[in-house]
């Protein structure tokens, strides 16, 4: 049933509701995939670096000497995620909303869904050990 003569406010509110709903159902997965496509990870002998961003570049550089704890999450296929430092107790809430604008700044720094994650983890640990000497 189409409401004829509905106030403009209701039409705009309804359109906004539909757009947000479409984003939450489908669009966030495309946004997340594009975000991952433009994210690059690097490990040097002194730093772990994350370069990301769709419209502007964000560079996170973490000194391996002061990195603190790391958490490794490995999947059956060998891919996985390395979380650096202490994760916020609210990470589980934001982590469940992949691609939600603004959520990335609140999450702990991490190398997400990288292939052969154990090898990268060991590379970082070996670099930390060599810096400690």
- Give residue 98's pLDDT: 47
Q: Indicate whether 123 pLDDT > 90.
A: yes
Q: Environment class of residue 23 by beta-carbon count within 10 Å: exposed (0-12), middle (13-18) or buried (19+)?
A: middle
- Give residue 96's pLDDT: 45
Q: Indicate whether 120 pLDDT > 70.
A: yes
The model's confidence at residue 49, banded by pLDDT at 50, 70 and 90, is very high
- Give residue 82's pLDDT: 93
| Residue range 98-112, pLDDT digits in tens | 455 555 555 678 899
The residue that leads in pLDDT, 7 or 125, is: 125
Nearest alpha carbon to residue 53 among 74, 27, 31: 31
Average pLDDT, the chain: 83
91 within 8 A of 108, measured Cβ to Cβ: yes
99 within 8 A of 29, measured Cβ to Cβ: yes
**Domains along the sequence of the chain with CATH:** 8-132 (2.30.29)
**How large is the average pLDDT for residues 10-21?**
89
Q: Indicate whether 89 pLDDT > 70.
A: no
The model's confidence at residue 1, banded by pLDDT at 50, 70 and 90, is low
pTM exceeding the 0.75 threshold for the entire prediction: no
């Amino acid at each position: 049933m189409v409401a004829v003569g509905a106030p403009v406010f209701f039409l705009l509110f309804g359109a906004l509701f539909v757009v947000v709903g479409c984003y939450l159902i489908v669009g966030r997965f495309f946004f997340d995939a594009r975000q991952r496509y433009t994210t690059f990870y690097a490990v040097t002998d002194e730093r772990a670096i994350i370069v990301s961003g769709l419209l502007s570049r964000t560079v996170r550089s973490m000194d391996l000497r002061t990195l603190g704890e790391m958490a490794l999450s490995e999947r059956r296929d060998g891919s996985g995620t390395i979380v650096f430092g202490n994760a916020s107790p609210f990470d589980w809430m934001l982590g469940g909303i992949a691609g939600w604008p603004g959520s990335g700044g609140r999450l702990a720094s991490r190398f997400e869904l990288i292939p052969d994650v154990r090898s990268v983890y060991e590379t970082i640990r070996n670099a930390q050990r060599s810096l400690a000497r």
